[in-house]
Amino acid sequence: MKFVLWLADIDRRILFLLIAVAVVVPILAPIGMPVTVTPQSKSIYDEVEALPPGSNVIVSFDYDPATEPEVHPMALSFLRHCFEKQHKVIIMALWPQGAQMAVRALAEVGGDFDLEYGRDYVNLGYKPGGDIVIKSMGSSIWEVFPRDMAGRSTASLPLMAKVQSLNDVALVMDLSAGDPGIPAWVRVGNALYHRKIAGGSTAVSAPQFFPYLQTGQLIGLLGGLKGAAEYETLIKYPGAATRRMDSQSVAHLVIIIFIIFANVSYFISRRHKEGAGAGRAAGPPGTP
Amino acid sequence: MRREIPMIVAFVAGVIIILEFFVPALRDVAAGIQNWYLVVVAFAILVGAFNLLRMNYMKIRHRRADWPYSIILIIGLFGMGLTGLIGGIDADTTFDWLFNYFMFPMSSTMFALLAFFVASAAYRAFRARTVDATLLLAAAFIVMLGQVPLGSFWVPSWWPFFLSPAWLKDRIMEIGNTAGQRAILIGASLGVVSTSLRILLGIERSYLGEE
Amino acid sequence: MRSAFLGVVSILALVAAATGQTLRAAEGLNASDTPIDAGGSIDVTWQPSPSEAAGKTPVLGYEVWRAERVTGEYKKVGSVDPGKPSYAFTDNAAENGVTYFYKIRVRNEKMSTDTAPLGPAKASAQWFHPERLNMLIASIALSAFVLYYISQARAGREFFIRRIAGLEAVQEAVGRATEMGKPVLFVPGIADVDDIQTIASLTILGRVATMVAEYDADLLVPCSRSLVMSTAQEVVKEAYLEAGRPDAYQRENIRYLTDDQFGFVAGVDGIMIRDKPAANFYLGTFYAESLILAETGHSIGAIQIAGTAMPSQLPFFIAACDYTLIGEELFAASAYLSREPRLLGSLLGQDWGKVIILVFIILGVFTAFLDQFGVEIFGRSINLAQLFDVR
């Protein structure tokens, strides 16, 4: 009984330790569970496959180092896929640190392809303003980004010579960890300029974008680490996300076990207290 | 005029941008306002940086609580700014090194705390006290299992598909979750329209620093 | 002589046809003002040259030529690569009100052939987007509701707002902090002062500050934006004045920490662990830091009241806090507590907007269902969903 009562009110540092073990061990000793692909991830893959080679694709880096583990693997896989299909990639960022994340991504992926800056891809850097940046890009990308991240004139870059506005772009992939992000691209890029928008977001934000998926305002959505792992599976290039999925699986299982223990100990201790005539309150009001 | 000028600017700019949605002929005027907005936002970042500097300087000067951290903040602000301006921000620059070895680990660490806090919050809160709590608990179980490969790993081939965690998770997300999110989205959007209208018409003036 | 010349031309044409040396002009040329735009643009469309389909000599491309008179000097304004089933080109260099004539030149390696000129075409700006009439009506209707009810509230009309559980706990929370001799912590979110949730939060801050002043407790308000800090200082100062305790107001308790999300939450966690507030309020816009705040607050034993309209953070607050104002309850709470006409009127106007949306959702689902069975009205699809397309 003492053990049950102790379990009901366990020191949370023990929980933290168990979570740490659950995350670290599968990284050191991978299990290799296969990743199943969801339709919302497959639709992005199919769209990139269906685009004629040389299509213009915008990749908007709207995340920061905090959300790197979830969103960065998506960026790597998507860039890899675009470069394999010889699409022309236009990189930009609506978050200040997004531009640096793009530099990192290009450094990790670019070496595997024979790419020439200005011909195969450009990095336009960060621009503050969220919705208004996208709206202005609908008229002229050159005016919004007169220079690329390194200070070169945008109009002088061979790739950008044929990309005057959003209307010249076949697909936008927004890798987003908050605001501005996917809602801004859907509100402006899709609603006003009818561009195809694909999204990649953290797992915690993904549920709120499901309405956009249903209406077709988003053509697809990569949600969290699982979404990143799915895209790696689709392009047949398992990377960081696939490796980390084992940890996520075990961590989820450990949390489920915690919850089961918590409920068992809760019911036993409640029955014990009721039996002892203490009549415990059912918890603070307002909590389910 | 300290209050009136911002209110007039807000009204004129707001009305033109809204009208442009319905009146194509106003496109160039709206584009001009948008360009001004982009310029002003860039300067606002600069103003924010000066403000940050001023506040932390005052903290150091008056020895307010935690003033030594303000010294570190100012060193960081100038350090990153100068290295970026002098050496550039491309790959393999000093700025990039500082970003990768300072910003990156610090931000990631704070975000990683969530993994632990989610476990302790779930342990404490997901108890079947009431019918609602039990439903919440069941949904959490299904989504947690369905979201990871483990949820499909153990499912044998003869298992009915409508009892598999992945299938159930998809239904919860596509039906229950989407309905709720859509309702919240509609409500929040109406709130944004209403507040924007109040700001445009000068009924709402809290953004000017008054209640 | 003339007949001999015609004879030679005919023979040459026959020889050219036999050897595939003719290049026929593009067909179906059309030029018209680009619809629903700000002017300065003419759409030119045409069908491929039959020679392109025949494929005997590859076509290199099409050029668009323009003049201001049918017999005037033509200038090239653009070119299009071949290989499409039909062609379109937008001339963005047209001046409004000026008459233009267009012709299309098709080229191969050896020759080029022009279409007959077509025109006149004039660019003009349109003053109304007819496909957005639905949005205009909806915007006007919603605005009318909001403004009407604001004016009604200003005229003194009483509006009912249902009781919100979290609000009743505010007094209990502040009382608890006073009894324990510990401060009250109020975090107004991490968005700036123009965010509607921050506005609602600062309104509630005013009421909480009045209560804290009356109870003679301490109020800590860490802010993530300097403008929010300035506004919060004014709000709290006013509240203390209203409570008759201007001497108790401490400006340094309302501090700006940092704009950085996780830097801010690290700072607030530090305040919680050092100052150990007994009551924590998290009201406003929050992102991933919500759970970190709530869990740290729980670890120090504080009673916690949260309120946000961020769908992704609500589950964390509900799981970790004692009371949560969900979505619009936050806005309702600020209207409820302040009784300000602008907030009350807006709330009611929004509610009527929701009623209308609800009615259309029900009608839409019903008509979409009937549409499945081919039910029509006046020969057109009954599905109401088309009414709400935004183009």
A216/A186 Cα distance (integer angstroms): 10
Pick A286's closest partner by Cβ from C166, C288, C312.
C166
By C-alpha distance, the chain A residue nearest C385 is A215
Best mutation target among C148, C199, C220, C238 (most B Cβ atoms within 10 Å) is C199
Kindly report the number of other CB atoms within 10 A of residue B75's CB atom.
10
Stretches where chain B sits below pLDDT 70 are 206-211
Say whether C262 sits in a helix, a strand or coil. helix
Q: Is residue A87 domain-resident? A: yes
Q: Are residues A117 and A158 in the same domain?
A: yes
Domain layout of chain C by residue ranges:
22-122, 159-339
C-beta separation of B133 from B127 below 8 A: yes
Q: Is the pLDDT of residue A147 over 90?
A: yes
> Does any domain span residue A281?
no
Pair A75, A141 in one domain = yes
Both tokens of C128, joined, read 């109304």
Q: Residues A19, A62: one domain?
A: no
The mean pLDDT value of chain C amounts to: 88
Asked if residue A283 is part of any domain, the answer here is: no
Whether residue B34 and residue A103 make contact (CB cut-off 8 A), yes or no, is: no
Q: Are residues A147 and A260 in the same domain?
A: no
Chain C contact present for B203, CB below 8 A: yes
Confidence of residue C1 (pLDDT cuts 50, 70, 90): low
C344 Cβ contact partners less than 8 Å away, ≥ 6 residues apart: C149, C150, C153, C159, C161, C335
Rounded to an integer, what distance in angstroms lies between the CA atom of residue C177 and that of residue C302?
9
Residue B93 domain flag: no
Question: Of B36, B58, B87, which residue is a domain's last?
Answer: B87
User: Mean of the per-residue pLDDT values for chain A?
Assistant: 90
- Please give the residue range of the domain that contains residue B137: 126-201
For residue A287, what pLDDT is reported? 41
Domain count, chain A: 2
Partner-chain contact B111 C262, CB within 8 Å = yes
Distance CA A200, CA A219 (A): 11
A215 touching C, CB under 8 A?
no
Domain region containing A9: 2-30+244-275
The B residues from 61 to 120 touching C (CB cutoff 8 Å) are 64, 66, 73, 106-107, 110-111, 113-114, 117-118, 120
CB C192 within 8 A of CB C274: no
Chain C residue whose CA is closest to B137: C319
Q: Strand, coil or helix: what is C159?
A: coil
Cα distance between residue A61 and residue A109, in whole Å = 15
- Which residues in chain C are contacts of A208 at CB distance < 8 A? 311-312
What homologous superfamily does CATH list for C22-122?
Answer: Immunoglobulins (2.60.40.10)
The predicted pLDDT at position C11 comes to 55
CB atoms B24 and C38 under 8 Å: yes
Q: Of the candidates B45, B91, B108, which has its C-beta nearest A128's C-beta?
A: B45
Mean pLDDT of C118-124: 93
Q: Is A136 inside a domain boundary?
A: yes
The DSSP 8-state label assigned to residue C96 in this structure reads B
pLDDT digits (tens, 9 = 90+) for C335-372: 888 788 888 888 889 899 999 999 998 998 899 898 88
Residues C105, C24: Cα–Cα separation, whole Å:
10
Compute the distance between CA of residue A84 and CA of residue A117 in angstroms, rounded to an integer: 16
CA distance A111 to chain C (A): 33
Residue B175 forms part of a structural domain: yes
Rounded distance between C-alpha atoms, residue C215 and residue C171, angstroms: 10
**Nearest neighbour of B28 by CB, restricted to C38, C206, C319:** C38
Q: Do B144 and A207 touch (CB under 8 A)?
A: no
Interaxial angle between packed helices C328-338 and B178-200, expressed in degrees from 0 to 180 and rounded to the nearest 10:
40
The pLDDT value given to residue B209: 59
- pLDDT tens string C256-285: 888 888 889 989 999 999 999 999 999 999
Mean pLDDT confidence for A122-138: 93
Residues of B in contact with A249 (CB under 8 A): 148-150, 153
Q: Which residue of C has its CA nearest to B108?
A: C262
Q: How far is B10 from chain A (nearest CA, A)?
A: 15
pLDDT value, residue B191: 84
Kindly identify which residue of chain A lies nearest to residue B133, measuring between CA atoms: A288
Structure tokens that stand for C37 in this block: 């735009």
Query: Are B133 and B81 in a shared domain?
Result: no
pLDDT at A284: 46
Residues B139 and B190 in one domain: yes
Domain assignment present for A105: yes
Q: 3-state secondary structure string, chain A?
A: CHHHHHHHCCCHHHHHHHHHHHHHHHHHCCCCCCCCCCHHHHHHHHHHHHCCCCCEEEEEEECCHHHHHHHHHHHHHHHHHHHHCCCEEEEEECCCCHHHHHHHHHHHHHHHCCCCECCCEEEEEECCCCHHHHHHHHHCHHHHCCECCCCCEHHHCHHHHCCCCHHHCCEEEEEECCCCCHHHHHHHHHCCCCCCEEEEECCCCHHHHHHHHHHCCCCEEEEHHHHHHHHHHHCCCCCHHHHHHHHHHHHHHHHHHHHHHHHHHHHHHHHHHHHCCCCCCCCCCCCC
Same domain, B78 and B148: no
**Residues within 8 A of A (CB atoms), B 46-85 only:** none
Q: How far apart are CA C173 and CA C272, in angstroms?
A: 16
Same domain, A98 and A199: yes
Question: Is C323's CB within 8 Å of A191's CB?
Answer: no
User: What phi, psi does C62 have (nearest 5°)?
Assistant: -120, 145
Sheet of C184-187, strands arranged across: C254-256, C219-223, C184-187, C279-283, C303-308, C323-326
Q: How far apart are CA C285 and CA C189, in angstroms?
A: 5
Question: Which two tokens mark A89?
Answer: 């990639």
Among B55-59, B110-114, C3-7, C81-85, the range scoring the smallest mean pLDDT is C3-7
**CB atoms inside a 10 Å sphere around CB C237:** 15
CATH number at residue A234: 3.40.50
pLDDT tens column, A12-27: 889 899 999 999 999 9
Is B111–C252 a contact, with Cβ atoms under 8 angstroms apart?
A: no
Q: Return the closest-CA partner of residue C101 out of C42, C49, C24, C27.
A: C42
pLDDT digits (tens, 9 = 90+) for C209-252: 999 999 999 999 999 988 898 889 999 999 999 999 999 999 88
Domain C159-339 fold: Rossmann fold (3.40.50)
- How many domains is chain B partitioned into structurally? 2
- Do B130 and B67 lie in one domain? The reply is no
CA–CA separation, C294 vs C306, rounded Å?
A: 9
Interface test with chain A among B127, B142, B182, by most A beta carbons within 10 Å: B127
Q: Contacts of residue B104 in chain C, CB cutoff 8 Å? A: none
Reported as a pLDDT band with limits 50, 70 and 90, residue C192 is: confident
Helix, strand, coil abundance in chain B, percent, nearest 5: 80, 0, 20
pLDDT for A281 equals 47
Supply the pTM of this predicted model.
Answer: 0.85
Q: Is B176 helix (H, G, I), strand (E, B) or coil?
A: helix
Q: Of the segments A131-135, C49-53, C57-61, which one has the largest average pLDDT value?
A: A131-135
